[in-house]
């Protein structure tokens, strides 16, 4: 399938986008993990869950982001990593959308201390999340849609191929 240079170039670009998304998830998880008190404060200000569940969320989300990002970067367990990344990013985007809709003026906490704790730019944050979601979707979609068909794979059933090899 990599004999077609156009397909190969597109495959490389879409895979690099996925690797970049993984790197951003690793960075976001690591930054949240470096200051749990700030991350817990940001979660509390966003009003996304009852206060008794927030410490659990604060502790569990950074490692999930780091592991998911690592899987995206190294190419292991990709379908699961893509699914988790898309779900996380969709959830984060919905939370940011509600924060903007209800006029909650707090940091998203996306990148820990680096999120900036001034006036939030929810539109920019939601746009970034949408681009990362696309990065997780485009590679498998591209690979399936534009992969050259292997005519020999379609011409014979596995049993017929086995018979031909045994002759």
Model confidence over 138-148: pLDDT tens digits?
877 776 666 55
> Quick one: pLDDT at residue 82?
92
Contacts of 96 (CB under 8 A, 6+ apart): 108, 122, 125, 126, 129
Beta-carbon count within 10 A of 7 CB? 16
Task: Determine the average pLDDT of the residues in 3-23.
Answer: 81
Over residues 21-51, the pLDDT tens digits come to: 999 999 999 988 888 888 888 888 887 889 8
Contact of 62 with 87, CB cutoff 8 Å = no
Whose CA is closest to 61, among 21, 92, 106? 92
pLDDT tens-digit readout, 106-141: 777 777 666 666 667 888 889 999 999 998 888 777
Length of the chain, in residues = 167
Alpha-helix residue ranges (DSSP H) falling in the chain? 5-34, 36-46, 54-74, 78-101, 122-146, 151-155, 158-166
Q: Taking 50 as the threshold, does the pLDDT of residue 73 lie above it?
A: yes
Question: Residue 140: CB partners within 8 Å, gap ≥ 6?
Answer: 78, 79, 82
- Cβ–Cβ under 8 Å, residues 85 and 68: yes
Report field, pTM of the whole predicted structure over 0.95 = no
pLDDT in the model for residue 125: 87
């Amino acid at each position: 399938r990599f004999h077609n240079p156009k397909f190969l170039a597109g495959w490389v670009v879409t895979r690099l986008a996925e690797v970049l998304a993984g790197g951003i998830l690793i960075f976001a998880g690591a930054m949240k993990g470096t200051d749990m008190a700030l991350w817990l404060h940001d979660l509390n200000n966003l009003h996304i869950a009852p206060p008794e569940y927030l410490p659990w969320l604060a502790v569990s989300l950074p490692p999930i982001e780091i592991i998911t990002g690592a899987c995206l970067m190294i190419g292991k367990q990709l379908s699961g990593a893509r699914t988790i990344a898309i779900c996380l990013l969709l959830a984060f985007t919905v939370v940011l959308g509600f924060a903007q809709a209800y006029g909650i003026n707090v940091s998203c906490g996306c990148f820990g201390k680096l999120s900036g704790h001034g006036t939030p730019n929810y539109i920019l944050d939601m746009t970034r999340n949408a681009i990362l979601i696309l990065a997780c979707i485009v590679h498998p979609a591209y690979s399936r849609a534009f992969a050259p068909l292997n005519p020999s794979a379609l011409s014979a059933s596995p049993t017929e191929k086995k018979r031909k090899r045994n002759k």
